[in-house]
Chains A and B, each alone.
Chain A
Amino acid sequence: MMLPVYVALLEVKRFLANRGELGFSIALPIVLFALMQGVGSGASFSGTAHVANLDGGGLGDELIAAVEAIDGVDVKLYSQAKLDAAIDRSAVLTGVVIPADFSERVETGEPVAIIFKQRGSGGDEGQIVAQIVEGVARGMFVEYEARALAADLLSGSGATSGEIAGAIAKLVGEVEAHDSAVSVSDGQGDESADEFADRILPGILVMFLMFAVTLSAQTIVEERSNGTLERLMMTRLGVWRLFWGKFLAGIARAMVQVVVLLGLAAVALGSFGLVALMQAMVFSIFMAAAVSGLGLLIASVARTRDQANWAAVFVTMFMVVFGGTFFPLGDSGLLSLIANFTVNHYAIDALQSILTDGGTLVTEGVGIGAMVVTAAVSLIVARLTFRVSGGA
């Protein structure tokens, strides 16, 4: 019979007719996706080295130039007094002091200490800049030591001092040509894209699918309150066909956002194959069915719109938090045990596997089974507890 399909189509038509709701439904996943990806992938590092150069020789300037040459790092020069004052008033959290004998000690191969002055912990930026400066200085020191050592070794070979200097310069040049000695990375890069696809994207997908709980719960309560439910029950539709129609409509509405999200993920991340995307889409249909069933169960039990809303919010929050939607709960303990009773737990595992680990709908049979069982049990209990009118 086609009656459930007509009910589902009517729901979709109402959804499309309500421009505000439709726009919100499409815009929300886009905005959330952009925000989560921004947070997940992070931005390139940029920082400033606040330097007081007390060095009388040229190596202090060389060190500053080498630090400045690194992408994302600027150098701001101070006198020592001004640097100290800036640190005192917390305008600067980490300052670098190049000592007066820096050049002399480096050239003679004596140990030299660059002084890092910090306010508190020095701040994340300050700590990173300090490590960069230290690394560059260490490289300079090693280079000078290497030059001195090479000169010592070649001094008895009959080569002139000019030839020795030329050979060393050539050697150093070749080493430098290989790659920049120091570069700044936020340590995420492609790994962040993997992390996003592995954890955050399935989390967002599952969270949006969970909205179907509230939408499905509301739809019958709304029909009950505006009288159309009773009118429908006077037709040939019947309760089971009404439930099938609402069930299909719940899936269709949830899938609008899934399609938007997976489409965005495919474009923005570009790391999924078409097959993985399609399988994620199909799995999402199973999850939409499960949560749509839960929504109908709530609609059947709830007697008022408020009851339905609060019950749906509780179920959604419980599933999101205890299902490990955005963070892993571990493999043992109470939280892990509770997670087994949430659809999110199975959905997250399955979507992660499909999107990033080469899983397929066949390998994710447990997850699909959990969704099918949830949908079937919810629909049956919903039917058994359903009443046309709220209190009567």
Chain B
Amino acid sequence: MNDDYLVATDLAKGFDGNLAVDGVSFTIRRKEILGLLGPNGAGKTTTIRMLSTVLRPDSGEVTIDGHPLSKEAGEIRKLIGVCPQELALYEELSARDNLVFFGRMAGMSGKDAKARADENLEMVGLSDRAKDAVSKFSGGMKRRVNLAISLMNRPALLFLDEPTVGIDPQSRNHIFDTVLSLRDAGMTVLYTTHYMEEADRLCDRVAIMDGGQLIALDTPAHLKESTGQATLEDVFLNLTGRSLRD
């Protein structure tokens, strides 16, 4: 069995004549957590949107578990789960109703979707608030619901786009533990974040993007060693510079 679960080759995407992603190639190994780091505007989210079938690449190809994205987007959607950076939730509805709905959208039966929703809410520590409207939740709780939805179809490959933005340390730690337990259970994860200590703690390897290009890809330890930096944040600043980004 090929060890590479996702293979992206020379991916490119432009908007209004500007290349947001410019010839990016990388792989994600099975049961690996790959961190995708980069300053604002580096092309991380565009990359994830292409990998998750929302955006069609201008050029390049992606295969996931051997399925080419250009031809088998439907098959790929069955394999992936996406936890978007935005809180993509129906706030009027309960946490459970949100999960059940997206379970149905993933093709699950009503019974299975309800059972999976209960499991996932237990996993993210929200069983006791399952029937409450999401609009009453704190930011951290909403992030956990956001994550729980992305796990409804028990994806083999999970995309997490800045899943810990703006939440308290308790919720962050809960999300870390959940992600690690998912990896241990055999899930492959692509994780984007601006928090370097998070990437250092969670990721088996990290890829650093800047200006739409991939400028580094290795384990955190090797990156620190090869650049002579003490922390991953120093590595990041060393590679991407200290100038402010929009």
Give chain A's interface residues, CB within 8 Å of chain B: 2-3, 6, 10, 13-14, 17-18, 226-228, 230-237, 388-389, 391-392
Whole-angstrom CA separation of A93 from B93 in the bound complex: 62
The 9 A-B residue pairs whose C-beta atoms are closest, nearest first, are A227-B88, A227-B86, A235-B105, A231-B88, A17-B92, A6-B104, A228-B88, A234-B82, A14-B92
Q: Which of B82, B89, B92, B107 contacts A236 (CB 8 A)?
A: B107
Chain A proximity mask over B95-108: 1 for CB below 8 Å, otherwise 0? 00100011011110
What residues on A are CB-neighbors of B97 within 8 Å?
13
Q: Are A226 and B86 in contact (CB under 8 A)?
A: yes
Q: Are B54 and A236 in contact (CB under 8 A)?
A: no
Give chain B's interface residues, CB within 8 Å of chain A: 15, 49, 52-55, 74, 77-78, 80, 82, 84, 86-90, 92-93, 97, 101-102, 104-107, 133, 149
Q: With A17-B92, A230-B88 given, name 17 new contacts (CB 8 A).
A: A3-B105, A10-B90, A14-B93, A17-B93, A17-B133, A226-B86, A226-B87, A228-B90, A231-B84, A232-B105, A234-B53, A234-B54, A235-B77, A236-B77, A236-B105, A388-B54, A391-B15
What residues on A are CB-neighbors of B84 within 8 Å?
227, 230-231
What residues on A are CB-neighbors of B87 within 8 Å?
226-227
Q: Are A6 and B101 in contact (CB under 8 A)?
A: yes
Q: Are A234 and B52 in contact (CB under 8 A)?
A: yes
Q: Are A10 and B52 in contact (CB under 8 A)?
A: no
Report B139 CB to chain A, min CB distance, Å. Answer: 15
Whole-angstrom CA separation of A388 from B54 in the bound complex: 8
What residues on B are CB-neighbors of A18 within 8 Å?
92
Report A286 CB to chain B, min CB distance, Å. Answer: 28
Whole-angstrom CA separation of A18 from B15 in the bound complex: 37
Whole-angstrom CA separation of A17 from B52 in the bound complex: 31
Q: Are A13 and B93 in contact (CB under 8 A)?
A: yes
- Of the A-B pairs whose beta carbons lie under 8 Å apart in the complex, a sample of 29, sorted by A's number, is A2-B104, A6-B101, A10-B90, A10-B101, A13-B93, A13-B97, A17-B133, A226-B87, A226-B88, A227-B86, A227-B88, A228-B89, A228-B90, A230-B49, A230-B54, A230-B84, A230-B88, A231-B82, A231-B84, A234-B52, A234-B77, A234-B80, A235-B102, A236-B78, A236-B105, A236-B107, A391-B15, A392-B15, A392-B55
Residue of A nearest to B159 (CB): A234
Residue from B49, B90, B105, B133 whose CB has the most chain A CB atoms within 10 Å: B105
Whole-angstrom CA separation of A232 from B97 in the bound complex: 15
Whole-angstrom CA separation of A106 from B101 in the bound complex: 88
Report B11 CB to chain A, min CB distance, Å. Answer: 16
